[in-house]
Amino acid sequence: MSYFVIGDEETVIGFRLAGIEGRAARGPYEAREALKVATATEGVNIIVITERLAAEVKADLKQYYPLNFPLIIQIPDRTGPMDERKSIRDIIKSAVGVKI
C-alpha cells in the first residue's frame, strides 16, 4: 500500500521525511489539483489530507467515500484539530477505551 499526503507545507515535509510522497496546498484549487494527482498515481491506496483542506474540498472528497480505495484519512494540520473535531489522541483513547 502506498500513501499520499495533501496538506500545508510543514505537514507535507514531515511526511516526506518518513518517505511518504505528497503535495502542499494553500487553498481549495491546489488541494483539488493534488487530489487529482493522488488518485491518478498508480499504487496510491491511502490519501492523508489535513482537516482544513478537506473542509474546503468536501464536495470533491464525497465522490470517493463509497469506494473502497483510495481510503481518505483526515488529520489535523500543524495548528491542531479544528474546533468541532477531536484530536488524534482523543480518537485513539476512545477507540482503545483508555481514560486519563
Can you give the pLDDT at residue 82?
Answer: 73
Please tell me the pTM assigned to this model: 0.80
Can you give the pLDDT at residue 50?
Answer: 94
Question: What is the layout of strands, in order, in the sheet containing 71-75?
Answer: 21-24, 2-7, 44-50, 71-75
Can you give the pLDDT at residue 32?
Answer: 96
Could you tell me if 72 and 62 are in contact, meaning their C-beta atoms sit under 8 angstroms apart?
no
Neighbouring residues of 76: CB distance < 8 A, sequence distance ≥ 6 = 50, 51, 82, 85, 87, 88
Domains belonging to the chain, first-starting first, are 2-96 (3.40.50.10580)
Give the integer Cα–Cα distance in Å for 49 and 12: 10
Could you tell me if 49 and 73 are in contact, meaning their C-beta atoms sit under 8 angstroms apart?
yes
One pLDDT digit (tens) per residue for the chain, 100 residues = 799 999 999 999 999 999 999 999 999 999 999 999 999 999 999 999 999 999 999 998 888 777 667 888 888 887 766 777 666 667 666 667 666 5
